[in-house]
Amino acid sequence: MPVSVSRRDFLQMSLAVGAAAMLPRGVLAAADAAPAFDHLALLSDVHVSGGLFSGMASRLSVAVNQVLALPQKPEKVLVCGDCAYLTGPTEDYREYVRRIQPLVAAGFPLHMTLGNHDNHDRFWAALPKEQPDAKIAIRRQSMVIKGLHANWFMLDSLNEDDRDIGELGATQLEWLSAELDSHADKPALIMLHHDPVRNGKAGSLKDVDKLFAITRPRRQVKAMFFGHTHIWDVAQDKSGIHLINLPATGYTLWWRSFLGWVDCKVYSDSATLKIHAINPGEKENGLGVALKWRSAK
């Protein structure tokens, strides 16, 4: 079907094509080149309170403003559970939504999973677009976030029968196995709230052995990111999977912890992590860590 183009539009199009033709070939190739890395901001344990404890909500706002102020903006923001302060009441999620709104307004894709201080029903009521039927129909806030250099598998470890001890459950683990097998072409990065290991021993995840039985033999799995302990730590398990314990944003639990979030850049064979402390005067602020992915065989 013929398309009508005005003379003015034709001249503008011609000038644009001509200008592009005069650019050096290397400049054209660079413009078409894929980004060297996936760029994400990773937050955990934000613990927003809609009541008396407003300091935690204020700290989330500080983190949000720090993300917005980055000279090189991340492509996505991931929140690793404990969005609410204690038991996930409606007012906490109302305040949480208000505090993350600047990220949404700025166009950042925002993905969240849940922790032991959250509540499924009240979280989904506050954020109806997060309803699980848009992801997987197992009443879990779980999803696959596809990236150019790696895919993220966000797991929901909230066990409302025992809030302190997390559990993924058989159905979610079956889902994870199937999703890992259908996305085996890129590195796989796991995010869940509860710590699978702590100080070299089993952490607060009840079915950690089943999780490792799935992830260790699947060599595309390169790292696990988690929260819950409110302590920044980077380790590696016996199979070479990196274990990254994200710092809390909301409040500290231990004398050696600090508040902050992580600027993460993911390459095809590695990743870099950089700490952004809520208080820029913390000695950990700006700390960088480089991770090399384990081999595919």
The domain that contains 147 carries what CATH number?
3.60.21.10
> How far separated are the first and last CA of the chain, in Å rounded?
53
Q: What is the pLDDT of residue 26?
A: 43
pLDDT in tens, 146-194: 999 999 999 999 998 887 899 999 999 999 999 999 999 999 999 999 9
Q: What is the pLDDT of residue 134?
A: 64
Q: What is the pLDDT of residue 33?
A: 65
Q: Which among 159, 174, 248, 247 has a CA at the least distance from the CA of 213?
A: 174
Q: What is the DSSP letter of 10?
A: H
Give domain status of residue 47, yes or no.
Answer: yes
243 vs 28, higher pLDDT: 243
What is the mean pLDDT of the segment spanning 206-218? 98
Give domain status of residue 257, yes or no.
Answer: yes
What is the mean pLDDT of the segment spanning 57-70? 98
Q: What is the pLDDT of residue 68?
A: 98
CB < 8 Å & 24+ apart, contacts of 280-285: 282/258, 284/232, 284/247, 284/258, 284/260, 285/260
Give domain status of residue 16, yes or no.
Answer: no
User: Is the pLDDT reported for residue 4 higher than 70?
Assistant: no
pLDDT in tens, 89-135: 999 999 999 999 999 999 999 999 999 999 999 999 999 999 877 67
Q: What is the pLDDT of residue 207?
A: 97
User: Is the pLDDT reported for residue 1 higher than 70?
Assistant: no
Percentage of the residues of the chain whose pLDDT score is greater than 90: 78
Q: Which among 149, 241, 159, 145 has a CA at the least distance from the CA of 194?
A: 159
* Contact (CB, 8 A) for 227 and 193: yes
User: Is the pLDDT reported for residue 14 higher than 50?
Assistant: no
Q: What is the pLDDT of residue 23?
A: 38
What are the structure tokens assigned to 99, written together? 């505090």
List the domain range (segments joined by +) for residue 109.
Answer: 39-292
What is the mean pLDDT of the segment spanning 268-272? 98
Give domain status of residue 62, yes or no.
Answer: yes
Give domain status of residue 217, yes or no.
Answer: yes
pLDDT in tens, 249-267: 999 987 778 999 999 999 9
Per the structure, how many domains does the chain have? Answer: 1
pLDDT in tens, 122-143: 999 999 999 877 677 688 999 9
What is the mean pLDDT of the segment spanning 199-217? 95
User: Is the pLDDT reported for residue 8 higher than 70?
Assistant: no
Give domain status of residue 26, yes or no.
Answer: no
DSSP conformation letters of 186-247: S-EEEE-SS-SEETTEE-SBTTHHHHHHHHSS-TTEEEEEE-SS---EEEE-TTS-EEEEPP
Neighbour-count burial for 204-229, b at 16+ CB within 10 Å, e otherwise: bbbbbebbbebbeeebbbbbbbbbbb
What is the mean pLDDT of the segment spanning 265-276? 98
Give domain status of residue 15, yes or no.
Answer: no
Give domain status of residue 77, yes or no.
Answer: yes
